[in-house]
Structure 1
């Protein structure tokens, strides 16, 4: 099971990296073979995709997404801890409640992430 201090440290650094718009710091939390799922992917990429596969594709997607949202800001609401995963509940710049779940691999990097919006 993940510890509360690990989860809080991860959430704090992850949110700060997003709020600083630091793509390399954001990506530092993820493994090379990351699979990211979000209903926002299709809109940002202009395709029917609901997932992004691999760190390089994720960098491209988030670089484009950040360019479309100059006012982006995340505010922490809560952290939920599981055995090998944690979920961060946060409110974004659009006042939407977001739950993002991160599954960690053996190296301590995120291997799968799923974003869900209210």
Structure 2
């Protein structure tokens, strides 16, 4: 089951700009898909695997957007997943789907952007 305060904690972690805090939500081998991965990392599939590769992506992205800030809009909770809808620092609406294992760690996520 997904904790009720997960989305607020996830947003706060991103707004702290502390990647170790953000990465604590995820398994070591998690998979992430985002159209931004294509542009920022040059990975045509738009998917990265594992904390080292995704850390490198997020470090680059945070360097490109030093004012990164998310405002939580709404949350949709499933049996073992959550959709976190937020507005970013540019005023664009975004949605992240996170899938969780039995230990409560995210093993797969996908970013969606307006």
Unaligned stretches of 5+ residues in structure 1:
none
Equivalent pairs counted in the alignment come to: 114
The Cα of 1:33 is off from its aligned counterpart by 1.3
Q: Distance in 1 between matches of 2:112 and 2:27?
A: 21
Instruction: Give the corresponding residue for 1:114.
Output: 110
Whether 1:34 aligns to 2:30 is yes
RMSD between aligned residues? 1.1
The alignment's TM-score, normalised by the length of structure 2, stands at 0.94
2:63 is aligned, of 45, 64, 67, to 67
The Cα of 1:107 is off from its aligned counterpart by 1.5
Alignment of 1:82-101 (within 5 A): 82-101=78-97
Q: Distance in 1 between matches of 2:40 and 2:60?
A: 7
Unaligned stretches of 5+ residues in structure 2:
none
**Secondary structure at 1:48's aligned position in 2?**
coil
Moved segments of 4+, more than 4 Å: none
Of 43-52 and 81-90, the range deviating more from structure 2:
43-52
Q: Distance in 2 between matches of 1:91 and 1:15?
A: 10
